[in-house]
Each structure stands twice: as C-alpha cells, then as structure tokens.
C-alpha cells in the first residue's frame, strides 16, 4: 500500500511538473508569435494595451466619483479606450495575432493554476450520515426568488415527506424568529428555510442555539449560502432530499452584535446606498447619485477597523465574511470553498484616485486594497450609529460594531447527491511555478515547496 501511495505521489508530481513547463511554453509561444509577426512593434502594441486597460479603470473610477459632464466624459474614455486599441491592431493587420496571443496567455494561466493545485482532495467539508428527522419544521417565503416556493411545489413536497410547513403570507410582517422558537418549543427536531439568505441566517442562529440540524432550501434570489454548500440552485426541490437521504456538515456562523450571518456583513458605501429610501425604487440612479459624496468622504461615517493586529483607516467599503472568499481569479470571486475554516474574511477598499483604482489590479499589493483573515473584527466610526448590510438586509447598529466567528456552530443537513463545491483554484505564485517547472532533481525525493525557506504545499 505504501509503495502504491508513493507511486501515486510521484506520478502526480511528474504531471504537475510538465503542466508547469507547459505553462511557461505557452507564455513563450505568445511572446514568440508577437515578435515573429510584428517584430519590435509588438512591444509598442503591448504597451498600448496596458495603457488601454489603465484608461478603462481610470475612466470607471472617474465615472463613479463625479457627476454631470465629467461623469459622461469619463464614461466616453472607458468605452473609447478598448475601441481605439482594436482599431489600431486591425489597421496594423495584427488583430488576429493579438487574439491568439491573449488566448495563449489565458491557457498559460489556466495550466499554471492546475499545476500549482493539489487536486482539491482536501477541499470538501467532511460529512457524516444524517439521521432522518421525525418532526421537521420548515419556514417558506412564497415571495422569495420570484415565487420559487409555488413554482416548484415546495410546500406540498415537504409535507409529503412529513414536514410541517409555515408560509410567510401575512397579513402584515411575520416574526420569523418567534415562529422558529415556537416550533422548537413544540418539539421540532429540524429547522429549515426556503427563502433569502437574510431569513436563512436568522433561523440558522436559532437552530445553532438549540443544537438542531438546519435545512437550506435554495428558494431565494441569489442563494449564496446554498451555492457554497454545494446545493442545486436551479431546482430547490432537490434540497428536500436531505430529509430522507441526507448528510450533515458542521459549518461556521458569523456573529455581529446579537445577530448571526451566514454570508457577510458589509460596511461603508454599499450599506449607505442601500439604506437610502430611494434605493428600492431606483437602485442604479440612487447608487450613481450617492457614490461621489461617499467616495470623497462628504457623506457617510468615517470607518476604522481592527483585525488580526492590523488597523484599517478610512475604508470606503468593508466586507466581513463568514469564511474568506476566493480571490485567486475572477471566476472564483464571491465563492467560498469551505465554510468550516474557523475564520472571518476581511476585504477593505479605499480608492481616492484613478491611480489607486489602477493599483487594485495588483490585488493584495495595491495601497487601496486590504485582504486578511481574522477571528474577530471591530469596526468603529465617527458617528454613534452606522448602517450595516447583514446578508443583504440593512440595519443600523451602534458603533463600535464587533464581528466574530463561531466555528462549526451550525449543523447543516444537505442531500447526499448534490452538485457540490468546485475545488478552489490555486493562486499564481511565480516562485513556486518556477520551482515546479525546474528540470533540476529535488534532493531525496523531497516534496516541492517543503524545503526550509519554502512555503509548504497545501
């Protein structure tokens, strides 16, 4: 068995080595194509493309930070820059070369991430078989997600499986927390919600308080929590399979003030915009109207945050998430590979100029972007109260506001057969990629990146 595992490791390492070499080969092929067809003009074209990207980012920032004529000039710049670049490449007869070169670089990046990945063997959260509940109690919002509860017949299907269902039909506002607590007092042994993430978070906190399993039914509009649990968002009825053939996951819960959150709590510009009375009727217009004053500090509270020994001064937007979001590529943004990491994710943005907006391309290295993880985050302000968006619902909280994590506090029951969560893509770390692509033998069969001074492999 030991020989088999060692052979599997060597085969896996060999494959990753050749993928790393293929990545460098694709990058060289892109450069060689440009030089072969365009000669030294290719350097000017590359510089022109970089300038175009910077113009788009700068134009985007000026569009958001200004009003009136300046805003529309900025929009014209952001639109005209890529058009101008395409025209230049086309007139030089090099448009096809640029397209092929970009395709090669994209392929190189994808190959590099695959080479640096360990295959995602440890990405999935551990699951254990779930006992079938005897008295499940489900809360369903018929208006959530454009009427998914009715569209997919969730009430009838849940009742056929032995669940008691309460519909949030009114009249008037229904106290969801009181409804869930009464169900627990009456002997419910499982709580579940078919609705938005805000309602999910509220009932999840009560389920965790009473150590009861919790069922997520993806009947909301976006269903970010369901997405990160690996549930089917296209057919929420499949979530009900967990009542008869389920697995149990232990996931973290975020805590802010006396509330829980399953996704995130947002501070700053987003929370200020959403709490505006005009936002519900005109989201786009209200956002564009308020953003200039928020970005320049003329409106809204000035925030400071303390997290993991780091002080963050004056962020315009601050996101505290129940587990860190993937930031390795655009496709992964807004996803969490695991919900049992036991840490909060923190992303803070402060952009005071077009130059800082361009610097955001450097991700964690730009002055305007801070990304870290912490067990606790404290947000203070120069105002007695600040708006906070908690899983999409805005509330006013007294400052300072403390966010914390409750590791594996929630027992979530999910169907055994479900789409699952894709393994996170590895970050592009050039030193590791160069080491992996090297033709020099590693001493004594030592694993890559495990030598002194090297970052250990995941």
Q: Which of 109-118, 134-143, 313-322 has the lowest mean pLDDT?
A: 109-118
- Residue 239: its pLDDT value, please? 96
Reference 266, options 220, 295, 305; nearest CA is: 305
Reference 203, options 262, 144, 135, 243; nearest CA is: 262
Q: Which long-range contacts (CB under 8 A, 24 or more apart) does 7-15 make?
A: 9/447, 10/445, 12/119, 13/447, 13/448
Confidence of residue 445 (pLDDT cuts 50, 70, 90): very low
Convert the pLDDT of each residue in 229-286 to its tens digit.
999 989 999 999 999 999 999 999 999 988 999 999 999 988 888 888 787 778 788 8
More confident residue, 129 or 363: 129
Please enumerate in sequence order all residues whose Cβ is within 8 A of that of 414, keeping only pairs 6 or more positions apart, or say none. 127, 216, 229, 230, 231, 239, 242, 246, 247, 248, 249
Beta strand spans in 163-286 (E):
164-167, 190-194, 213-217, 246-256, 259-261, 264-268
- Residue 452: its pLDDT value, please? 38
- Residue 34: its pLDDT value, please? 85
């Amino acid at each position: 068995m030991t020989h088999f595992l060692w052979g599997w490791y060597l085969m896996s390492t060999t494959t990753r080595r050749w993928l790393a070499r293929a990545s460098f080969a694709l990058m060289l092929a892109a450069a060689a194509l440009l030089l072969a067809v365009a000669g030294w003009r290719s350097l000017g074209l590359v510089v022109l493309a970089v300038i175009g990207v910077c113009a788009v980012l700068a134009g985007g920032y000026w569009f958001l930070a200004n009003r009136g004529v300046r805003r529309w000039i900025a929009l014209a710049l952001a639109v005209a820059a890529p058009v101008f670049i395409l025209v230049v490449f086309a007139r030089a007869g090099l448009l096809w070369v640029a397209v092929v070169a970009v395709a090669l670089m994209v392929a190189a990046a994808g190959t590099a991430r695959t080479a640096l990945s360990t295959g995602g063997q440890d990405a999935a959260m551990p699951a254990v078989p779930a006992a079938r509940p005897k008295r499940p109690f489900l809360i369903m919002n018929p208006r959530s997600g454009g009427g998914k509860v009715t569209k997919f017949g969730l009430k009838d299907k849940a009742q056929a499986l032995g669940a008691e269902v309460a519909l949030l039909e009114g009249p008037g506002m229904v106290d969801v927390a009181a409804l869930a607590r009464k169900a627990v007092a009456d002997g419910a042994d499982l709580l579940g919600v078919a609705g938005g993430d805000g309602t999910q978070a509220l009932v999840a906190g009560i389920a965790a308080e009473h150590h009861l399993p919790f069922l997520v039914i993806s009947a909301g509009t976006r269903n970010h929590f369901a997405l990160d649990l690996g549930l089917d968002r296209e057919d929420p009825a499949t979530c009900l399979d967990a009542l008869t053939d389920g697995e149990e996951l232990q996931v973290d819960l975020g805590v802010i003030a006396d509330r829980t959150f399953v996704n995130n709590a947002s501070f700053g510009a987003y929370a200020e915009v959403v709490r505006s009375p005009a936002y519900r009727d005109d989201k786009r217009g209200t956002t564009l109207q308020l953003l200039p004053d928020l970005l320049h500090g003329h409106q809204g509270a000035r925030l400071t945050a303390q997290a993991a020994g780091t002080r963050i001064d004056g962020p315009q937007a601050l996101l505290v998430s129940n587990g860190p979001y993937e930031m390795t590529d655009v496709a992964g943004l807004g996803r969490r590979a695991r919900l049992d990491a036991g840490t909060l994710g923190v992303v803070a943005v402060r952009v005071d100029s077009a130059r800082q907006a361009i610097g955001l391309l450097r991700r964690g290295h730009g002055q305007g972007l801070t990304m870290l993880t912490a067990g606790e985050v404290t947000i203070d302000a120069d105002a007695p109260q600040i708006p906070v968006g908690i899983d999409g619902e805005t509330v006013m909280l007294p400052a300072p506001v403390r966010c914390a994590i409750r590791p594996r506090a929630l027992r979530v029951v999910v169907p055994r057969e479900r789409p699952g969560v894709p393994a996170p893509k590895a970050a592009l770390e050039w030193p590791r990629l160069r080491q992996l692509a090297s033709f020099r033998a590693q001493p004594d069969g030592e694993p890559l990146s495990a030598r002194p001074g090297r970052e250990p492999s995941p």
